[in-house]
Amino acid sequence: MAVRRIVYCGHPALRRRAKRVKRIDDDIIELARDLRETMLEAGGLGLAAAQLGESLAVVTVLRDPGENDVVELINPRIVEQEGEQEGSEGCLSLPTLRGTVIRPEHIVVKAADISGEEVTVEGRNLMARCLAHELDHVEGMLFTDRAEPDTLCWIRPDDSEESGYRTEPTTLEEAEEAFERLRRQRGES
């Protein structure tokens, strides 16, 4: 298990539809464990293989933040969804960018776990949002594809604000340019 570098918006893996895993071998188990460790280290609620530059249908989602209870899903697919919730969303591949996204209120996902057994994961509210977000990564989508464009903003630390941060409105084009600069600074292709 290792903490790996999370790729930023603009990396090609983030826009590719992930390949289904045909066989759960040691490499896939290691990838799932790396996703888990990387997500926990970064303080995220979910992470997809695409965010590590791997175009494979493997995701992790934090089921219970207080307990670090992580579910690892291979070849996940939504089998049921209902309701609607609107809320602010961000992504570890688009750090400090937020936007308002409409997601299902309730979601049911079927997948394989790392032992190859079929599992069913159900989520409501925040868990439903996280599952839908990570499964979008499997399809090569980012939250910015679903966000209401006029809600995109940067979250900036600001001690003069009661919340400890301020928001700065931005456009999708400005955000993509900023991430491209970050990727170049990091030496990403």
Q: Beginning with the edge strand found earlier in the chain, give each strand of the sheet holding 85-91 in spatial order.
A: 85-91, 94-103, 153-157, 165-169
Which residue, 23, 69, 28, 26, is CA-closest to 45? 69
CB 8 within 8 A of CB 182: yes
CB-based burial label for 58 (10 Å; 0-12, 13-18, 19+)? buried
Can you list the positions of beta strands (E) in the chain? Answer: 46-48, 58-64, 69-82, 85-91, 94-103, 106-112, 118-124, 153-157, 165-169
CB-based burial label for 26 (10 Å; 0-12, 13-18, 19+)? exposed
Residues present in the chain in total: 189
Bridge partner list, 82? 106
Catalytic residues: 134
